Amino acid sequence: MAEMSEKEMPLTGRKSKFEEPPQGLEIDKKRALELAQKVTKLRVTSTSERIVTSVPPIPPPLNHKSAYKTLPDGREVPDAEKLLVHFTLEGRLEEETAVRIIQDVRECFKAEPNIVNVQPPVTVCGDVHGQFFDLVKLFDIGGPPKTTTYVFLGDLVDRGCFSMEVCLYLFSLKINRPDGCVIIRGNHECRRMTSYFNFKDESTYKYSEDLYNEVMKTFDCMPLCVNIGNKFLGIHGGISPAITSLSDIKKIDRFREPPFSGPMCDLIWADPFGNEEDFMSKQFEANKVRGCSYFYGYHAVSRFLDNTGFLSIIRAHEAQEQGYKLFPAHEKTKFPTVVTIFSAPNYCDVYNNKGAILLFQNDVFNIRQFHCSPHPFNLPDFMDVFSWSLPFVAEKVTEILYILTRLSSEEPEEQHVEVDEVRK
């Protein structure tokens, strides 16, 4: 049985074999990050640090020849290491190349069942939400993607300003190692959410609406759950009264836009009760906070775990101050019935939360936390400086015209002089 060790949680300054970057990439990646940080350093401690002496040029878009490589077996796959450095320097791809990656990974997703099977050792990650530069940090502490099996529990996009880079890079890793990079669908991998939040705007700003539509077609093919060594079930959201066994998940038609209700909706939208008293006393309740799906409690989860033989449900979907949350343990296994993991530190640049990932190997359940990394600044809605400044310029021009109008309309005061004063 797996055991959870609090001692395995990270300490400041602690080193481990997982903290070393991939061989052959260390120099390039460090250089890329240093160049980016010269312009985008967030924590200003003196006025001199506010002065930018030079701005590194943004590299030109990569074409297919530059972005892909040929493996010894003859397969053409994206050069993930090159893309990592390129995206860190805020580079983009030619649209045809980006579409090729999106379409190639779609075939990988199509070939997978609703529940993907993964064997440990494995690193499990929660929401990323377009925070590409924190994703780079995540790989530093979670293990090199060349040799580490990763599971991402959905919500790659929205809110952060680098969702396209997150998608293209993770899709590239998936194409290189289909079994080594498992990505399941979250509630943000759909048309409704990406149109309401910022991924659609980002896609059309950086590429085009046609490319956005290609990404949506790929999202429609993503699997819904992951079976981790027959011990943990990875889901984005959770369970519901309609999900009592794995067969309920396997029979879902997932190749579509998620519906507003039903098992598919529940897998990506449901939440455990946040209050421990409610979690221990209630089974299910309508999730009025989300506006759809359910809250689920201890007894409902315990029954599901007993029916399926899993030790725990590992899910994402909710920001956590420490990057994770452990729910009350099962009375039989003494292991948390639900574990929430969230991998977007300083969520939305305002929450000041930690990010976390889970490492499961040799029957040890390990939690590692990490802080946010500096990232380039973007104006709201990806506006350019000129468009962003127009309202302020218009306001000042209006003030000036108002003042000039007042001055021109004011009549000069008449000066009355007494005759006697003139004679004097």
**Residue 7 confidence (pLDDT):** 38
**Residue 404 confidence (pLDDT):** 86
CATH number for the domain spanning 352: value is 3.60.21.10
Q: Is residue 217 in a domain?
A: yes
How is residue 115 written in tokens? 């529940």
One-letter amino acid at 269 equals: W
Q: Is residue 24 in a domain?
A: yes
Map tokens 């946040």 to a residue. Answer: 274
CA 413 to centroid of chain Cα atoms: 67
Count of Cβ atoms closer than 10 Å to residue 89 Cβ:
16
Poorest-confidence range of 8-12, 327-331, 412-416? Answer: 8-12
User: What pLDDT digit, counting tens, does each position of 197-243 carry?
Assistant: 999 999 999 999 999 999 999 999 999 999 999 999 999 999 999 99
Q: Is residue 122 in a domain?
A: yes
How is residue 170 written in tokens? 């993770």
Q: Is residue 19 in a domain?
A: yes
**Residue 408 confidence (pLDDT):** 76
CA atoms within 13 A on the CB side of 74: 0
Residue 382 near residue 202, CB atoms below 8 Å: yes
Closest by CA position to 36, among listed 87, 73, 102: 87
Q: Is the pLDDT of residue 300 over 90?
A: yes
Q: State mean pLDDT over 130-143.
A: 97
Confidence tier at 420 by pLDDT (50, 70, 90): low
User: What pLDDT digit, counting tens, does each position of 234-276 carry?
Assistant: 999 999 999 999 999 999 999 999 999 999 999 999 999 999 9
Residue 78 near residue 176, CB atoms below 8 Å: yes
Q: What is residue 360's three-state secondary structure?
A: strand
Q: Is residue 327 in a domain?
A: yes
Question: Which range marks the domain in which residue 339 is found?
Answer: 3-393
Where is pLDDT greater, at 17 or 304?
304
Give dist(CA 350, CA 156) in Å, integer. 19
Question: What residues are labeled active site?
Answer: 188
Q: How many domains does the chain have?
A: 1
Q: Is residue 359 in a domain?
A: yes
DSSP of 183-218: E---TTSSHHHHHHSSHHHHHHHHS-HHHHHHHHHH
Give dist(CA 90, CA 24) in Å, integer. 21
Q: What is residue 409's three-state secondary structure?
A: helix
Q: Is residue 58 in a domain?
A: yes
Q: State mean pLDDT over 346-353.
A: 96
Q: Is residue 418 in a domain?
A: no
CA atoms within 13 A on the CB side of 111: 10
Where is pLDDT greater, at 13 or 142?
142
CB-based contacts of 56, cutoff 8 Å, min separation 6: 35, 36, 38, 39, 89
**Residue 20 confidence (pLDDT):** 34
Q: State mean pLDDT over 381-402.
A: 85
Q: State mean pLDDT over 293-300.
A: 99
Long-range Cβ pairs for the range 279-288 (8 Å, 24+): 279/327, 279/328, 280/328, 284/240, 284/241
Dihedral angle computed from the Cα positions of residues 344, 167, 90 and 318, in that order, rounded to the nearest 10 degrees? -10
Strand partners, 117: 227
Give dist(CA 132, CA 55) in Å, integer. 20
* Peptide bond preceding 10 in cis form (omega within 30 of 0): no
**Residue 387 confidence (pLDDT):** 83
Give dist(CA 393, CA 388) in Å, integer. 10
Give dist(CA 342, CA 318) in Å, integer. 7
DSSP of 75-125: -EEE-HHHHHHHHHTT--B-HHHHHHHHHHHHHHHHTS-SEEEE-SSEEEE
Q: State mean pLDDT over 307-322.
A: 98
Where is pLDDT greater, at 16 or 369?
369
CA atoms within 13 A on the CB side of 82: 15
Map tokens 């970057």 to a residue. Answer: 21
**Residue 97 confidence (pLDDT):** 98
pTM of the prediction? 0.84
Radius of gyration for the alpha carbons in the chain, expressed in angstroms and rounded: 27
Q: Is the pLDDT of residue 3 over 60?
A: no
CB-based contacts of 263, cutoff 8 Å, min separation 6: 240, 242, 243, 248, 249, 252
Burial class (CB in 10 A: 0-12, 13-18, 19+), 372: buried
Sheet of strand 225-228: strand arrangement = 115-118, 225-228, 232-235, 312-315, 338-341, 324-326
User: What pLDDT digit, counting tens, does each position of 20-79 carry?
Assistant: 333 333 445 565 555 555 544 444 445 556 666 777 789 999 999 999 999 999 999 999
